Structure formats: C-alpha cells, structure tokens
Structure 1
Amino acid sequence: MNAAVLRRGVGGLAAHPNEFDRKRIERAIRSRKRYRYVSPRVKTVTGGYLIESPCCSRNIDPEGGTIDVALIHYDAQSAIWQLFRKDHVTKAWELHSVHQRLDAVTNELNEDSERLFWQ
C-alpha cells in the first residue's frame, strides 16, 4: 500500500494517526459480534490504525499467535476512511470498503457477517 499524503493539522502534526481516534476505535470494537473473548490491540501506523488480535480460532495461526485483523487508513486527499482486510494466504492487504465517517468503519468491522476480519 502506498503511503498517503497526510493533511497537516495545527502545529504541523499529521491528522492521522492520533491518540483520540485510536482510543475511539479501541472502544468501538468492544461491541464486535465475533471473538469477544480476545483482547485486540489498536496500533498507530502511517496514515491510520492497525488492529491485531490473538488468533483463538487457530484458522490463520495454528499456534494462536497475534494476527492482523484490519487496517484503517484515512485518505486526506479525498477525506475518506478506507477499511482493509488481510488476505492471510498472500499476506496482502485488500481494500474492503470506503466510508465518510470513522463510526461507519467500526460498525462494519464489528458486524463482520462474512468473517472477513475476525477469522
């Protein structure tokens, strides 16, 4: 994935990632429908946020190690949020959807009816 051009906020700081939105994502995914018994982590990455979680299903990692769940990226040029899912076979991120608001991203991530994220 290419690095995004980050919009600069007050004081020259990048708009994303930031601690406020990282915490919002962290709180929002507590309402997920799948794998509620694990404790995922939300990390900041260039232009967005990475969600990782222990692989309790052992579908991806037979050892139960930490796997990538989702990548949330903010595209400052178009002012949209991009939600990526991990193809664990190819180890590549795939664009899943785009949204105008962060809460729409976390709602989709929490629903995950097709088990594309919480595997």
Structure 2
Amino acid sequence: MTLRCRRCDTPIGLDDFIYIAYYPHTMGANRIEVQYECAQCGHRGTRTLTQAAWDELMLRYLENDERTVDEWLATQQLGPITAEEIREVRRALRHENILESLREWERTRDKPQNME
C-alpha cells in the first residue's frame, strides 16, 4: 500500500506527514487519521486508514529506501521491522508498558546524582 497525493499523484513519504491521530476501538476496528502535505505540489490532504492498512504502510516505509538513519537508530534494529515486531509494540502500547518505562526513565533522569 502507498499513499499518493490526490492532486499530482506523487507518493507521500514519512516526512510529508503533518498530523497522525490514532482512534482505538473496543472491537478492534482501530482507525488512523493521517494528514499530509505533498512535497511536490503543496496540496494538503487527509486519509483515514484501518489498523491493517496503517501497519502495512509503516512496514513498507521502514523496509524500503525511506528509512532514515534516525529511524534506523530509533528502532534499535539490525534489519527490517517485521509484522510481529509491530504487533508487539502495539500490545505494549495497549498495556502502557512503554509509557511506564518512559515515566521511570524521566524520574531517574530528573533525580540529582550523588557526587562522592
């Protein structure tokens, strides 16, 4: 799956996203709203994707040439991200494990360190 500008049909890349909203649903019908600005013509558009379409789009972005060095380092991977890894991250986000880890990191980072 690829996103394309509705005006000039240029492929939309990760850097073209200006807003992403995640709308969870209790029955698994999650929706992701993506707003983008086309780098070619400047057109702004909005698309609403299913969770499966979003996952497929992210896999395509991260497995192809669009992965930047920053994205590579942020994922702490030595290869392409798999569908199973995305599912693991989604499960962690649902259970707030990642948020708890970030909060713990912020607490330890803000504490003054004893200099002895």
Same fold (TM over 0.5): no
Structure number with the higher helix fraction is 2
Pick the structure with more strand per residue. Answer: 1
Larger Cα-atom Rg? 2
* TM-score computed with the length of structure 1 as normaliser: 0.24
